[in-house]
Amino acid sequence: MPSSLTEVGSSYPAYVGFIYVFNLVVGVGALTMPKAFAHTGWLLATIMLVLLAIISYITTTFIVESMAIANALDKTGQFQVESESNSDQEGETDKSINTERTPVLQTRKYLEIEINGEIKREYISNVFEIKERVELGKMAGMFYNKGISSLQDMRLLPISVLLQVGFGNNFFYLCICIYLYGDLAIYAVAVAKSLTKVACNDLNGTGLNTSLPCWGNFTVGGAYRIFVAAFTICLGPFVFFNVQKTKYLQVTTSILRWLAFAMMLSITFIFLGSGKARGHPPVANFAGIPTFFGICIYSFMCQHSLPSMITPIREKKHVMYILLGDYVTVLAFYALLSHTAIFTFPIHSLEDLYTLNFTHYHVKFISFFLSLFPVFTLSSNFPIIGVTLRNNLKSLLLKEDKIYPFWIDRIVFPLLALIPPVTLALITKNLEFLAGITGSYAGVGVQYVIPSTLVYYGRKEARDKLGNEVNIYSSPFKHWLWIPVINIWAIACVVFVTINHIITKK
């Protein structure tokens, strides 16, 4: 199989993986949550936030389990085995190769790998070891469109059954392409708008009038397009490489974003402690639920890029705990940031982008620094999402048994991932409709439907082809009931968000 589809690249320690996931999860959602939190009510919003975090973590573990199953199925036909009687005798091996339907259970398993012109053996302790990066697109091709083989499949909701009777791959690529292209366009717009506001001294403005002068002969619109181009030039090259190449960018932006968080929290603590806080949020307001749903879908999203972030981790035996640590940290941060915000500022004064509430702060450096916060948060996410889109486009358009020229593999596909969203960002800065479609609908598919159905049908494939081999990366949520529960939750999310779009006429 071509290495371009599955190459992992260099590895990194667990703490770097933790930073990657945290940076990806905590994006724009962290800044848009306080206002929605206030309108939903502090108690109701807190309960929903915890529930949404738990469900998102469940589907995250489903993706990791699916990755392990895909790795095992992908390598089953390549394994050779050493019989137990000859395992200690050098050179005497059983050269039989396990067939697709033969459970890989007994004896010592190894792969023959060519290193520097020499064939060497790599012994595998468990067939489910995540050795290769298997993107969601490849998993969809492996697990979907197999047909309904038993009445047990009917335990799933109709939306999940449809994925097995011919719509699976189409549904997957529709969701993933809409979501990732939309995300990249939104990120490019958000960063360029933030930089334009700072450069054109429009920190207090609510929008960008593109015809107004900015500096010299440049209008605000011209400055905006320059920043879109500069953003693409600075971060676009990362899309041509693996996610590991952004390691130092991830660590740097992580430090900057935590510094920004510390500033915002410190300011609100000062207001709360000095009695200057003016926030009096309601306990519960059910009318705010639809908006809160849409924001939280964005705020806990990382499932689409897990293969690129998890596979390079050196020691993966504690990967579920790493992800749990990420989600607990993110949940605690969201709760702390939102609670301090809604009790410090009146509901009517909370901005859509929370950092705008600090533009009048008397310490100019802090005001300026927080105005650039979206730049810190989104600059680290753009390359990860770009690489994820590039890899899934490869899975869709390239054949695994064919090696492609360098210019197709390394040039064309990164450009396919970059050019459309950047072009859209240059054409328009008003992407509210695209953001709504991206998060509300495609996001539900990516975060809930795809992970739950992948793991369900992946488990079936594993039982059929791998027998009773124990999956060391199995999700703690193994009962089949979790699958329809997640699907029901997905439908509820779509209904709530659709109601919100109808009510607000957006």
Residue 383 in this model has a pLDDT that exceeds 70: yes
Residue 35 lies in a domain: yes
- The answer on 320 and 270 residing in a single domain is yes
Domain count within the chain: 2
Summarised one tens digit per residue, pLDDT across range 132-158 is 888 888 888 888 866 555 545 555 555
Residue 129 lies in a domain: no
- The answer on 102 and 206 residing in a single domain is no
Residue 168 lies in a domain: yes
Name, in order, each residue with C-beta under 8 angstroms of 464's C-beta and a sequence gap of 6 or more.
101
- The answer on 117 and 145 residing in a single domain is no
- Can you tell me the distance from the alpha carbon of 360 to that of 272, in angstroms, rounded to the nearest whole number? 18
Name, in order, each residue with C-beta under 8 angstroms of 20's C-beta and a sequence gap of 6 or more.
243, 250, 309, 384
Residue 96 lies in a domain: yes
- The answer on 237 and 93 residing in a single domain is no
Residue 26 lies in a domain: yes
- The answer on 162 and 58 residing in a single domain is yes
> What integer pLDDT is reported at residue 117 of this predicted model?
59
At residue 158, the 3 state secondary structure works out as helix
pLDDT band (50, 70, 90) for residue 106: very low
* Residue 53, CB-side half-sphere exposure with 13 Å CA sphere: 22
Helices 319-344 and 29-40: angle between axes, nearest 10 degrees: 60
- The answer on 375 and 291 residing in a single domain is yes
Closest to 224 measured CA to CA, from 187, 205, 199:
199
Name, in order, each residue with C-beta under 8 angstroms of 458's C-beta and a sequence gap of 6 or more.
65, 66, 69, 70, 139, 142, 143
Residue 130 lies in a domain: no
Determine how many CB atoms are found less than 10 A away from the CB of residue 96: 12
3-state SS record for 62-92: HHHHHHHHHHHHHHHCCCEEECHHHCCCCCC
Q: Which of 9-13, 95-99, 170-174 has the lowest mean pLDDT?
A: 95-99
Residue 84 in this model has a pLDDT that exceeds 60: no
Residue 259 lies in a domain: yes
Contact between 496 and 290 under an 8 Å Cβ cutoff? The reply is yes
> What integer pLDDT is reported at residue 86 of this predicted model?
44
Closest to 464 measured CA to CA, from 41, 143, 140, 5:
143
- How big is the chain, counted in residues? 506
- The answer on 440 and 344 residing in a single domain is yes
Residue 338 is part of which domain span?
3-77+135-504
Closest to 493 measured CA to CA, from 450, 443, 456:
443
- Can you tell me the distance from the alpha carbon of 234 to that of 204, in angstroms, rounded to the nearest whole number? 27
Mean pLDDT for 398-427 is: 86
Q: What is the DSSP string of 286-297?
A: GGGHHHHHHHHH
Q: Which of 288-297, 298-307, 326-335, 360-369 has the lowest mean pLDDT?
A: 288-297
CA-to-CA separations, 421 to 186, 187, 386, 395, in angstroms, rounded: 8, 9, 10, 20
- Can you tell me the distance from the alpha carbon of 276 to that of 267, in angstroms, rounded to the nearest whole number? 11
Q: What is the DSSP string of 267-324?
A: HHHHHHHHT-------S--GGGHHHHHHHHHHHT--GGGHHHHHTTBS--TTHHHHHH
Kindly state the DSSP code that residue 505 receives in the 8-state scheme. Answer: T
The CATH number assigned to the domain holding 15 equals: 1.20.1740.10
> What integer pLDDT is reported at residue 155 of this predicted model?
53
Contact between 6 and 404 under an 8 Å Cβ cutoff? The reply is no
- The answer on 103 and 58 residing in a single domain is no
pLDDT band (50, 70, 90) for residue 505: low
> What integer pLDDT is reported at residue 321 of this predicted model?
95
- The answer on 193 and 99 residing in a single domain is no
Residue 439 in this model has a pLDDT that exceeds 50: yes
Residue 415 in this model has a pLDDT that exceeds 80: yes
- The answer on 156 and 225 residing in a single domain is yes
- The answer on 270 and 210 residing in a single domain is yes
Bridge partners of residue 215, in order along the sequence? 218
Mean pLDDT for 185-203 is: 81
Summarised one tens digit per residue, pLDDT across range 195-241 is 887 888 765 554 566 677 787 777 888 888 999 999 999 989 988 88
- The answer on 160 and 16 residing in a single domain is yes
Residue 499 lies in a domain: yes
Contact between 158 and 486 under an 8 Å Cβ cutoff? The reply is no
Name, in order, each residue with C-beta under 8 angstroms of 492's C-beta and a sequence gap of 6 or more.
none
* Six token digits for residue 500: 């919100």
pLDDT band (50, 70, 90) for residue 162: low
